[in-house]
Structure 1
Amino acid sequence: MTLHADLKVTRDGFRLDAELAVEPGEVVALLGPNGAGKTTALRALAGLLPLTGGHIRLGGQTWDAPPDVFRPAERRPIGVVFQDYLLFAHLSALENVAFGLRARGIGRAAAREEAARWLDRVGLTAHAKARPRTLSGGQAQRVALARALVTGPDLLLLDEPLAALDAATRLHVRAELGRHLRDYPGHTVLVTHDPLDAMVLADRLVVLEHGGIVQQGTPTEVARRPRTDYVADLVGLNLYRGTAHGTTVSLDAGGTLTVAMPATGPVHVVFPPTAVSLHPGHPTGSPRNAWRVTVAGIEQHAHTTRVRLDGVPPVLADITTATVADLRLQPGDELWAAVKATEAHAYPS
């Protein structure tokens, strides 16, 4: 059964218009900047926000089709993991997991038995009697996941499920969550602003901007061929638009770039910041793109330094700390940027 969602919501001057299709066992990640419509889409799927147009259907069941059909959240076969988990502070981990079953009319003993099985699956049997305040962030996330899955939902909604974790915990819990999602036979929609969460956990990415879908595809497809500045920034690439005439691309914002593979017509050109080298004078050597730039900003990353450079075109460069020291880089310095033609990839826009 495919989940078909034609999400049309108009409220408070904002309009969401996005079509999603999610297959059984598939994890679809919704990505986008703040205000893009991710939360609106999630709330509509959950039954917390009625559609103003379109429909939501799973198999032969219609959950929402205005103006005639609206099935509220409690009547949809869904599980939800919220950003802050929203565990009941007065209940133990076991009772938190059993809550959804009890709400569906299952007896206390049977609900606890099934909840205990799920706590075992997420490795928390020893914490069954613990209250949420005594659990670590990773443990609380696993309790929330078990609570969402214990009812056997057809649709699992994950709202920034790792955002509340510190970096060290996040790495471990992300791997665990990925394992559970691979075992889950239903449909999963993940809302996140973190590209690494999306790349690791999702089978397919759907990028929203201004209430509409601007790009979708596998993580590899999106990462290799970004179509908007937001996506390029998300995956850490320099992105330009232009018109190709063979191996020369005239950029819309000024300047030209040489690419290795010839093309014709409107294209995007991308290359990673690591492909950019900086020089005090015009570089020599193998065929490459080279142009004058001015240092606009310097940011220290984990093992590299990112340099923002104004020029025609502007560009991001990731260089080593040693290179920074050799060039004695300061904002306002004038340099040459260089990129080999083999590092610049063009594809139809």
Structure 2
Amino acid sequence: MNLEIELSTNYNSVIDHVRNTRNVVQASGQSLIIIQNGKIVTEHYEGHHSNIRNAKSISMDSLFHIASVRKSYTGFCVAWAIYNGHINSIDDPVLKYLPELNEETLKGITLRHFLTHTHGLRTNPDGNLFNYFHAGERWDYRDENIRMLAEIIRRTTGKTVAKIASEEIFVPLGFKKAGWYTEPSDDMVLTIFEPDGNTSFETRNSADGDRPNMFSTARELAYWGYLHLNNGKIGDEQIVNSEILKMATTMQSPKLLGEESPKNGFLWQVQMDPTKNSEIGLNVPKGSFQILGICNQTLLVMPEFNLVAVRLLNRLGNPPGFNYLEEVKSFGDCVTEASTKLLVKI
């Protein structure tokens, strides 16, 4: 797919915000794309693929490691499996699909808990799961749930996360670059661990979608967000049933979850009434949804402004005193402020 490009200066403040974050965390490159009202209104690339001398410049072909942003595809696959009858309900117990797991540890944990980061599982130094808290009583962002969800998808559908994503999303939308990579590519932006130290391509041995080795260009990631914003429709064609995307991006967190906890759809964080520990800015409109990666990668969808914003950076780790949570919130608030000013001007 290719949307019309009509660049404007309305979101220059957001470009400045991303640049400031990049300078503070000492990333080597940045990408920013904003889609509004069906057009690309901001598309900005700056910096290089690494701090190595003569590294490639960031461009529209640059592949960023998107880390946990990939979980939006995992959530989609669960919703797709439910819609197509492979999974009965997100309130099914995990043990129904993974009966070989420890019954005492997994007892009472459902797919809903996995999808909303409320499962309470952690891993001890010996590599064994244990219950850090009872499922549903708290929110705790962990990765123990993601590989298990990927395995549940494989067992129930007969397809991997990557295969479903390819068949249902990548091919219909004409994506050429997004995917799970097992080998380095010349277009990859390296993940920077220290500004003057180690870098990595962050690839893994598996291309099944069960590991954190997904890369995407900023534009293809923005188009993924746009598919959600547009309820699964591109032009006159319904690419994905709107009910699948609605399921994934509306609040699914347990009802008894504390008021201060973030609220989730299928791994997306959803803006309800703003909460203290939410990763979405306080001023971001209700009904927006967002998913993040550890290197400050952000995919934010704001239906109230008919807008998708994607920013990609490549620094893993934060300098002393840097408040990741507040910075993420400030990005969403910056986009909101610029959008509000634009509405007033119009």
The interval holding the TM-score normalised by the smaller chain is under 0.3
TM-score, normalised relative to structure 1: 0.26
Higher RCO (Cα < 8 Å, 6 or more apart): 2
> Which structure has the greater CA radius of gyration?
1
TM-score, normalised relative to structure 2: 0.26
